[in-house]
Amino acid sequence: MAELRGNIRRRAKKLGFAEVAFVDAGKLPGERAYLEWLSEGRHGEMGYLENHQPLRVDPRALEEGTRTVVALLTNYYQPLDLLEGGLRIARYAHGDDYHKELWRRMRELAAFIHAESGVDVASRPAVDSAPLLERDLARAAGLGWVGKNGMLIRQGLGSFTFISEILVDLDLGEDVEEAPDRCGSCSRCLDACPTGAIVSPRVIDARRCISYLTIELRGPIPRRLRPLVGDYLFGCDLCQDVCPWNREAPVSADESHQTRPVYRDLSPMELLSFDHDRYVEVFRGSAMKRAKLSGLKRNAAVVVGNVGRAEDVPPLLKRFVDEENPLVRGHLAWAIGRLGDEGDGEDLREAARAEEEPFVREEVGLAVEALRVRSG
């Protein structure tokens, strides 16, 4: 099987995968830690993570007959996450939605395995959409170690990678050893996290994570955490940015992972004016659609509230009057309360005179009081 593994590895590299490894299918050792994490409620509102627990820890349960997992890494690193217009976007979302592109490549690789092996190969491509503990699996395959920030790190490549797998009903054997943990005594990711989401090495409380707050959370961002979100519109790479193993991370030349030109000059204030048609036009085929239009506008309001200036208040007031979504209106009120003065508070109160949503009314009241105290 060594020759077949070599052929698969070469084909995977031609398809754009940075690394490939093989591991015998079996139960993953991370089950206990995963269940403890769930029992502590650290997954927040991501209830889907509670589903299909037996499948997550055993590839054989996910795909009957699986004997080998072909584990793959794809480099998506881009040098900047803060773009010229003021959007700070997690690097994995700069280009096209990675799911479709990686699925296409994995299906092609699966067909190659079938052709090379000469046997009927049952295979299933997966990339973070299947219920599988992928980082645990990639670590077992020898593709790296799981760092204190919970990310898979590979020496020479870093952590800016997509993990994906093909589950194969064929014994391909193993030709790698597990990578040693090279984090040592370093705690830079824990120290750098502004919200304290890394509660201990390799334990992430999603409820405090900026990526969760700006992508997965559907309701209001907790007020105490809004100032800590800073200028992150979608996701957060800070714990990866400070990691020493990413200092030499190679920039991805993959066309599908390049920053979309339309993102470069887009400002948070402009995003606040988007209607559904403009949203679809700009974010079609993008991973950023995960947050939905209301989530992106909510996030943009928080960003403006954190990094904006007093002259942003008049357009924010206009956005407040024109905005139909109460989630966004409430965060716009918060932003005005951060940037304006007492007179703006009166304008906000007048703009919200007919407001019926309790959440928005509460945000307006708090914003007006904050402006009164600041001007006092």
- Which two tokens mark 300? 């943009």
List all residues 6 or more positions away from 195 whose beta carbon is below 8 Å from its beta carbon: 208, 209, 210, 213, 225, 228, 229
341 is catalytic: no
- Which two tokens mark 171? 């014994």
Query: Which of 252, 256, 251 lies closest to 104 in space, CA to CA?
Result: 256
In contact, 335 and 365? CB cutoff 8 Å:
no
Tell me the longest C-alpha to C-alpha distance in the chain: 80
**DSSP 3-state assignment of 265?**
coil
Cα-based distances in Å from 189 to 136, 230, 242: 20, 17, 6
Please give the full DSSP string across 280-311, using - where no structure is assigned: HHHHTT-GGGGGHHHHHHHHHHHHHHHH--GG
Active-site option among 128, 175, 181, 347: 128
What single letter denotes the amino acid at residue 234? F
Round to whole Å and give the CA distance between 360 and 371.
16
In contact, 286 and 260? CB cutoff 8 Å:
yes
Q: What are phi and psi of 235, to 5 degrees?
A: 80, 180
Q: Which residues are catalytic?
A: 128
